[in-house]
Amino acid sequence: MGKKKTAGEKVKAAREKGFDDDMTGIDDRPVLREILEYSKGLYDIQMEVWREYERGHPGATPCDLRTLKHFAELLASAADGQLEEKPTEDTVRGYMRRFTSGYERDTGICIPEQFRKTATNHIKTLGLSTAHRPRHYLTLKKFKVLVSVVWEKDWHEFDHEGARVGFSAKMNFFCFSSARLGELTESSAKAGTGKGLRYRDVVMVVGWGLDGRPEIQISMKRDAAKGMHKSRNRPEHPMFETTTGLPLLFNPILFFLAIAVASGAFKHYQTEDEIFALEPPEYDDLWILEWADEMQDVPVFQAMSRDGPTGKIQKSGSCARQLSGAAQRAGFKNVTVHDARREGLVKANGPEVFRGFYMAEGSVDGQNSFLNQPLRKDHVESFRGMSLQCNPELWQSLPAQMQYELERRPDFVALEEQIEDLTEEIKMADEEASQELQARRHKLHKERQRLTLEELKKRRQSQPRNHPSHRAHEPSQGDRHRSFFDRVRHMMPERDRLAHTLFQPVPLRSPEGRSVLRDLIALYKTDCRVAYQPALRPISGCCPVSSCTRPIQSIPVADRWDHVYRCYEADLKKRYGFAMFCFKCSEWIMSATLLHSATPSLVLDTALGVSATRNGPLLSGCINSQIGLGGCSMSRNVCRKTSRALIAPRQSDVHMAVHAAWYSSRTNTCGHTFKIITLSTCPI
């Protein structure tokens, strides 16, 4: 340690190093800390209001206490209430903080701290709402209900099924790390930065489990948030493969590993079997699974298109909409990521977190504590879960009567008339004018959708919840939606298996666990734009008909199912003289005699529920025209229809086959015998 310098020596040394005693060029503006563009945008909104206020009050300054209090009253009067008719005190105080901070940054003039406190206290005297949003907790029971619907009964079609895998991976990470929405996806506060969870932020290793066997472990480092964007202390969260006694659905390694393998993220390993074969070396407790160099900066959770992962990080708004939509389909009015974070933090062992935020939630078993009995926690969790009530019959759309009433409301009728007028104008307009008119019509469509969603939300608030034993026997709206997957699962083999295997309490390395992992990898990386019946699926990416074998990728998406169907039909007719496809059994019938051997005639299945999914027809069309079966008698002719009306909007000119079954005869006016029945079991 050198000799201690005197004050004079320090000043002299500074001058020798270039310090200038001349203060020219140094201003007297306060230096404020750096903020995000998102925060600056919020400040600018309130500064615009201040400038408008200045126009009506020339010479106004917030350094005058009366003016500052008057402006606070303006902000309170201009704000709209969300929880009640009037805005809350917290909302207006937030607007005031943004204004004072923005004013200091724009002008360099500091508003006295005493003035700020006075304005805050003045807001409390304005008679504003003191309501707060209720705290919701996504408990384990409610989490299971949510993800069960996503995999067992979900009727929503994601752009790509890989989004379903990513959704479950994100939800496990959110629940097990208490991460905020913007820490794993691109936050709206950091829009355009691409910040979020990337592969370089995750360390995956093979270590030893508690049972002495190898297990995969990960350490996830969350992106900085809440003013910590320059901090080096980013939260890290270890997770592990072993989840004894719990369904595979709750295994945090499962979904992440599926995404990593499907994306080719590992530097030295291509398959899950190579990773499962690893053990830690003798000289260390862990073996690090390195990421490929080109994958270091790739987002873990990517935005999905119909072609699969886009390589771009998913935005937090998109993630929030995914969760909200899944929650509503599961019967919850809404679920947010913070509900999962809140449930994790209420169990935190940090006394400051618990005492500051969650002690009021009543997590102490006072009854058994007083009675000297073993303490319980299960009932406490149940009461927390009560904040998120599930209604399996929750309306997914307005019932017919309510929709009828909405469509006759004056504001809704006015929108419909404007849309019709614009539609007629578009037909007559030139290309340039047509684009402008279409943009206007699109806004009106959005407004109409907003009115419908607002009405649905309003009606849900008053929708009764019925105990299962008290419900009517007739199917509800929710039953109709949740039965969708059962009607299409034969066209989605991976999802069909996962709807069962994901809920098995088995280890990840078990045969069942590996099967689940392979199905998730296939879902994430396979082209799922077209759904095929098992008998029509392409082989190695080509048409399965041996006389064709045309690459499926070379065929337009909307025509792929039709191409395979027509190829099969032509090939089988050429070889057997007859070919008919049974949509129920997903099998080709190559003999007309099988259709009418013991009974007078045929039944045509015309169940007209869902006709197509992912560009693939599900069921036969209804009866429209008659086609003979070669040498068969007229009474045994088969009625068949080719219909575009029953096909999904993206499907064109699909040749519909019939589903045959046995029936009691009835004579049509044309002399053909048939009977229309609902979906039944095929006897063939």
| pLDDT tens profile 392-414 | 888 888 888 899 999 999 999 99
Please report whether residue 646 resides in a domain: yes
Q: With a cut of 50, say whether residue 641 has pLDDT above it.
A: no
Structural contact between residues 583 and 675, judged by C-beta atoms closer than 8 angstroms: no
Q: Looking at per-residue confidence, does 133 or 350 come out higher?
A: 133
- Alpha-carbon distance of 179 to 172, in angstroms, equals 10
- Mean pLDDT across the stretch 609-617? 65
Of 336, 351, 385, the residue that ends a domain is 385
- Please state, rounded to an integer, the average pLDDT across all residues of the chain: 80
3-state secondary structure of 86: coil
Mean pLDDT of 562-576: 90
Of 336-350, 417-431, 496-510, 568-582, where does mean pLDDT reach its minimum? 336-350
**In angstroms, rounded to a whole number, what is the distance separating the alpha carbons of residues 233 and 219?**
14
Q: Is the domain of 217 the same as that of 300? A: yes
Q: Is 199 part of any domain?
A: yes
3-state SS assignment for residue 328: helix
Strand 638-640 to 625-627 pairing: antiparallel
Contacts 24+ apart (CB under 8 A), 418-425: 418/444, 419/444, 419/445, 419/448
Q: Is residue 63 part of a domain?
A: yes
Do residues 119 and 208 share a domain?
A: no
Structure tokens at 14: 């500074």
Phi and psi dihedrals of 589, rounded to 5?
A: -105, 120
pLDDT at 445 over 60: yes
Residue 505 pLDDT grade (very low, low, confident, very high; cuts 50, 70, 90): very high
153 and 220 assigned to the same domain: yes
Q: Average pLDDT in the 471-483 region?
A: 62
Q: Rounded to the nearest 10 degrees, how much is the dihedral formed by the CA atoms of 232, 237, 238, 241?
A: -140
Please state the rounded mean pLDDT for residues 589-594.
70
pLDDT tens sequence across 263-285: 999 999 999 999 999 999 988 88
Query: How many residues are given for the chain?
Result: 684
pLDDT reported for residue 48: 94
**Domain assignment of residue 501, yes or no:** no
Q: Which of 21-30, 563-572, 583-592 has the lowest mean pLDDT?
A: 583-592
**CA triplet 487, 614, 573: central angle to 5 degrees?**
80
Q: In this structure, which amino acid lies at residue 389?
A: Q
Residue 287 has a pLDDT of 92
* Of the candidates 100, 105, 102, the residue with the CA atom closest to the CA atom of residue 117: 100
For residue 592, what pLDDT band results from cuts at 50, 70 and 90?
low
Model confidence band, residue 318 (pLDDT cutoffs 50, 70, 90): very high
Q: What is the pLDDT of residues 223-247, one digit of tens each?
A: 766 555 555 667 788 898 888 889 9
Look at residue 490 and tell me if it is in a domain: no
- 340 pLDDT above the threshold of 90: no
The pTM for the full model equals: 0.75
Residue span of the structural domain in which 50 resides: 37-123
- Six-digit token pair at 183? 């820490």
Q: Are 80 and 88 in contact (CB under 8 A)?
A: no
For residue 655, what pLDDT is reported?
Answer: 31
pLDDT for the residue 182: 85
Residues 236 and 264 in one domain: yes
Q: Confirm whether 527 is domain-assigned.
A: no
% of the chain at pLDDT higher than 70: 79
- In this predicted structure, the answer to whether residue 374 has a pLDDT above a threshold of 90 is no
**Do residues 149 and 292 both lie within one domain?**
yes
Of residues 199 and 136, the one with the higher pLDDT is 199
Question: Same domain for 154 and 80?
Answer: no
pLDDT digits (tens, 9 = 90+) for 29-76: 888 888 888 888 899 999 999 999 999 999 899 999 999 999 999 999
| Tokens 């003798």, residue located | 282
Domain count of the fold of the chain:
4
Q: 78 and 185: one domain?
A: no
Tell whether 106 and 175 lie within a shared domain: no
Q: What is the mean pLDDT of residues 445-467?
A: 88
pLDDT top residue among 388 and 71: 71
Model confidence at 83: pLDDT above 70:
yes
pLDDT classification of 615: cutoffs 50, 70, 90: confident
Which is nearest to 19 in space by CA: 28, 27, 31, 10? 10
Same domain assignment for residues 91 and 170: no
Same domain, 546 and 578: yes
156 and 303 assigned to the same domain = yes
Same domain, 78 and 147: no
In a domain, 271, yes or no: yes
pLDDT (tens digit per residue) in 321-330:
999 999 999 8
Q: Identify whether 473 is part of a domain.
A: no
